[in-house]
């Protein structure tokens, strides 16, 4: 295996994700010059009457007239976007230089869904909506290629976004890692209404994770589903074929599950490592499907 590009996300998105149904055409951010592009840019905005912020990292050699894909990365609990950037290194050129990375800050270091969250689900969804508007207004963006990833509670909030037809409809695909899935856990799927079917989803989880247990149970911020059950719900929503396809690697320690949904192969994917605790992005970036 060779290191994959950006969470294995680039190849997944290209193969499985139909463009998001954004109808706004060109972004008003095209043509604007940015200095010191090798360094993250701190941006602030008002959302729901509150001061919110994010980091934006554009590639060195940024072309103000080239429309870039955007990856929005949501940090875990008790953290901020800066530390998620530092911990993951997702903006590094080795994970493709042709992208804009965006790292939002959750209120009180948390994202909606957990019982310790400061913001409500509606408030944080509004923030994501406002954030995307700010990104489009200030950077040259390919609005059909906006993606969401996140770790732990940030990964859980990525799932919350995916289940919202309005805000989730702005994204082409979703990739939570070690997600704390506190929302949309009703068995009849009434609370999860994705913008389109199938919705491309890629999930990573460690089988030995003690913070967000693979088999579910009481989590730090509420009850969490087992990952197999969570995957089944997405397979049902996406109208996927059964059974799924499984490939094992690394002497049987890494398991890659893939579903075909409405004729689209690999639109739902999952990686599990048996001996891994909380999935770190440095490990994620080493994974790609077996050849």
pLDDT of residue 221: 84
35 φ/ψ angles, rounded to the nearest 5 degrees: -100, 160
Assign 124 to helix, strand or coil. helix
**pLDDT greater than 80 at residue 286:** no
pLDDT, one tens digit per residue, over 58-87 is 988 899 999 999 999 998 776 676 668 777
Nearest CA to 240 out of 265, 262, 269 is that of 262
Integer-rounded Cα radius of gyration of the chain: 18
* CA gap 51, 73 in Å, rounded: 19
pLDDT digits (tens, 9 = 90+) for 247-262: 999 888 899 999 999 9
- The 8-class DSSP code of residue 114 comes to B
Cα pseudo-dihedral 168, 174, 179, 185, rounded to 10: 50
Q: Tens of pLDDT along 144-198?
A: 999 999 989 999 999 999 999 999 999 999 999 988 899 877 666 678 999 999 9
Please state, in angstroms and rounded to a whole number, the distance separating the CA atoms of residues 29 and 24.
12
* pLDDT at residue 26 in the model: 53
The matching CATH number, chosen from 3.90.1150.10, 3.40.50.1820, 3.40.640.10, 3.40.50.920, for 41-286 is: 3.40.50.1820
Q: Is the pLDDT of residue 102 over 90?
A: yes
pTM of the model as a whole: 0.86
* C-alpha distances out from residue 114 to 19, 110, 142, 242, Å: 30, 8, 32, 32
Longest dimension (CA), the chain: 53
Q: Where on the phi/psi map is residue 141: left (φ > 0), alpha (ψ -120 to 50), or beta?
A: beta
**Domain layout of the chain by residue ranges:** 41-286
Q: How confident is the model at residue 37 (pLDDT cuts 50, 70, 90)?
A: confident
Report, as an integer, the average pLDDT of 272-285: 57
**Highest-scoring range by mean pLDDT, 70-84, 117-131, 263-277:** 117-131
- Using CB atoms within 10 Å of the CB of residue 216, give its burial: 0 to 12 exposed, 13 to 18 middle, 19+ buried: middle
For the chain, list the strands marked E by DSSP. Answer: 41-47, 50-57, 68-74, 100-104, 141-151, 173-177, 201-206, 217-219, 222-224, 245-249, 254-261, 264-273
């Amino acid at each position: 295996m060779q290191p994959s590009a950006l969470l294995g996300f680039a190849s997944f998105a290209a193969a499985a994700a139909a463009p998001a149904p954004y109808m706004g055409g060109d972004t008003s951010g095209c043509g604007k010059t940015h200095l010191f592009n090798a360094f993250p840019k701190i941006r602030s905005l008002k959302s729901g009457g509150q001061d919110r912020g994010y980091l934006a990292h554009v590639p060195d050699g940024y072309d103000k007239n080239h429309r870039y894909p955007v990856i929005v990365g949501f940090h875990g609990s008790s953290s901020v976007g800066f530390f998620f950037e530092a911990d993951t290194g997702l903006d590094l050129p080795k994970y493709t230089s042709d992208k804009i990375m965006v790292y939002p800050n959750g209120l009180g270091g948390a994202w909606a869904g957990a019982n310790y969250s400061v913001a409500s689900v509606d408030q944080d969804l509004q923030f994501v909506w406002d954030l995307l508007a700010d990104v489009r207004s200030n950077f040259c963006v390919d609005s059909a290629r906006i993606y969401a990833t996140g770790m732990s509670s940030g990964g859980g909030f990525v799932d919350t976004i995916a289940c919202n037809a309005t805000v989730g409809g702005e994204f082409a695909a979703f990739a939570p890692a070690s997600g704390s899935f506190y929302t949309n856990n009703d068995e009849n799927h009434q609370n999860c209404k994705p913008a389109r079917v199938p919705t491309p989803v890629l999930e990573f989880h460690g089988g030995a994770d003690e913070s967000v247990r693979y088999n579910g149970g009481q989590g730090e911020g509420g009850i969490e589903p087992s990952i197999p059950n969570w995957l089944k719900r997405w397979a049902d929503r996406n109208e996927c074929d059964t059974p799924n396809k499984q490939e094992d690697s690394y002497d049987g320690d890494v398991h890659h599950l893939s579903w075909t949904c409405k004729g689209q192969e690999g639109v739902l994917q999952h990686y599990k490592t048996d001996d891994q605790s909380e999935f770190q992005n440095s490990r994620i970036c080493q994974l790609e499907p077996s050849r």
